[in-house]
Chains A and B, each alone.
Chain A
Amino acid sequence: MKPDNQRIVITGIGLTSPMGNTLSEFREGLLNNGSGITHTEIRHMGVVAAGLCKFDETKYQPKKMRKRGTRAGAISIYATNEALADSGIQFDSVDKNRVGVYLGITEHGNVETENEIHDLYNTHNMDVSFWSHHHNPRTVANNPAGEVTLNLGITGPHYTIGAACAAGNLGIIQGVQQLLLDEVDLALAGGISESTETFGIFAAFKAQGALGHHEDPTKATRPMDLERNGIVVSEGGAVYVLERLSDAKKRNAKIYAEIIGYHSNSDASDFVLPNTERQIECMQMAIKKAGIETGEIDIVNMHATGTTQGDIQECQAVEKLFGAYKNVHVNATKGFIGHAMGAAGALELAGNIPSFTDGYIHPCKKIENLDPQCAISGLVNGEKVSHDVKIILNNSFGMLGINSTLIVKKY
């Protein structure tokens, strides 16, 4: 058993999702067939399905700073403040030099750049002297994490982790690593996405034949369904308060879970198509690092975005690794909230963590017509399952062949 100062625990969770702005609201939707997907008008795209968050952007920051910052910054500030409040930590008395902010992002800067170019062409007759002086601080890649430090007076390190749709897990992993390296005493880590504010991501998925659509927006993305036709782009964020177990014990903190294993690797095979073998290796390495047996895992949360090929390949990976173990249950989140991009991994983990205390495994959003190639063992479809959950494995994969797996254990 590792010493307590080498064990990292989750002591606070803050989030905004298309299906609620607190963990309990989000969990409620996952257990009871909710949906956060609606039709909305996107510039140049017309009406598309998307997952939008409705939280109070100025609950934790002045109106002026919201106007100056970005949507990603607003999401980050909201989720971080919620996480700190949830942790019960007396933040005023925390040494701010020893706090780090590590947020995963799929992309950042597209929103502001699109807006500026739109105005340049449509309002300012190509006169670049109207280009905003806010453009650079809004589009630098560290923006969402930097806005958090400005908001909370944090003087420790901050940066974002650019990791496509694996970023939510990678943000958390970075926080764990920095705590283990003794670079910080408190890590505020997770994933963020503002992608629904940019038409480009919708247009690109459409060009790729991978933009989910349906006349009923709640059915626009149907991972593992034979009728699935792609991804629904969503925004959101989840931030975790991470501490060493020794510190958490000292302040008698509520402990959601211990992060016992993780791994990240690369496919090195294709810009967009996943790679089953590398996914298997990623999960195997995370399990090995966690020091557990494969069959001990209670929940495997799939990345499952709703694309034809991606779902099949991940199902092959999960079946090959876990198919023989009756204890392993498999669920997925994107049917409820869409694909929250850089926030996906962090949000999806948050959605499963309450299973440690409420005793349920949330299902996949009801798969009406299961793709035979996705009919894997342990799939929890449509109805929650009662189970004594102790270990969760969370997968998030992304473009350019980036894979991430995070394993958390009930404390």
Chain B
Amino acid sequence: MLSNEEVRAKVLDIIADIALDDDVSSIKDEVALRDQLDLDSMDFLDIVMELKKRHKIEVPQEDYTKLASMKSCVEYLAPKFNA
């Protein structure tokens, strides 16, 4: 059973490997990732792909908006990590 903090750390690892030119250490959980990092739609597809490759988690297209902020990522992904 992963805690929310542990889920956050795993998501952050993925984001750090995608937003290579950004400092991800100070991400604000409630603020949209796009508003604080240089991310575009291709980057969000990268996040989806890495969740699948690293953690076998599928994110259907209709749920992409749930990856908007770190807070929404953790809320959405925690049950999937712990399924």
**Same complex origin of A and B:** yes
- Residues of A participating in the B interface, judged by any CB pair closer than 8 Å: 62-64, 67-68, 129-130, 132-134
Q: Given A68-B42, A133-B42, A133-B45, A62 and B20 touching (CB < 8 A)?
A: yes
Say how far A125's CB is from chain B's closest CB, in angstroms: 12
User: Does residue B28 face the partner (Cβ distance < 8 Å to A)?
Assistant: no
When C-beta atoms are compared, the residue in chain A nearest to B21 turns out to be: A62
Cα A132 to Cα B53 in complex, Å, equals: 11
A68 vs B46: C-alpha distance when bound (angstroms)? 10
Query: Once the chains bind, are B49 and A132 in contact (CB under 8 Å)?
Result: yes
* CB–CB A133/B20 < 8 A: no
- Rounded to whole angstroms, the CA-CA distance of A261 and B43 in the bound complex is 46
Contacts of A63 in B (CB 8 A): 20-21
Chain B 44-70 interface 0/1 with A at a Cβ cutoff of 8 Å (1 = within): 011001001100000000000000000
Looking at chain A's contact residues, is the secondary structure mostly helix, strand, loop, or mixed?
A: helix
| Contacts A62-B20, A64-B19 given; does A130 touch B53 at CB 8 Å | yes
> Which chain B residues border A67 with CB–CB below 8 Å?
20
Instruction: Enumerate chain B residues within 8 angstroms of A68, measured Cβ to Cβ.
Output: 42
A-B contact pairs, 23 of them (CB 8 A): A62-B20, A62-B21, A62-B38, A63-B20, A63-B21, A64-B18, A64-B19, A64-B20, A64-B21, A64-B38, A64-B43, A67-B20, A68-B42, A129-B52, A130-B49, A130-B52, A130-B53, A132-B49, A133-B42, A133-B45, A133-B46, A133-B49, A134-B42
Tell me the total A-B contact number using a CB cutoff of 8 A: 23
Cβ < 8 Å to A, chain B residues 25-51: 38, 42-43, 45-46, 49
- Chain A residue numbers with a CB within 8 Å of B45 are 133
Q: Which residues of A contact B20 (CB under 8 A)?
A: 62-64, 67
Docked Cα-Cα span, A68 to B43, in Å, equals 9
The residue of chain B having its C-beta at the shortest distance from the C-beta of A127 within the complex is B52
Q: A62-B38, A133-B42 are in contact. List 20 more A-B contacts (CB 8 A).
A: A62-B20, A62-B21, A63-B20, A63-B21, A64-B18, A64-B19, A64-B21, A64-B38, A64-B43, A67-B20, A68-B42, A129-B52, A130-B49, A130-B52, A130-B53, A132-B49, A133-B45, A133-B46, A133-B49, A134-B42
**Chain A residues with Cβ under 8 A from B52's Cβ?**
129-130
A238–B53 Cα distance when bound, in Å, is: 38
User: Which A residues lie within 8 Å of B46 (CB)?
Assistant: 133
Query: Residues of B contacting A64 with CB < 8 Å?
Result: 18-21, 38, 43
| A-side contacts of B18, CB under 8 Å | 64
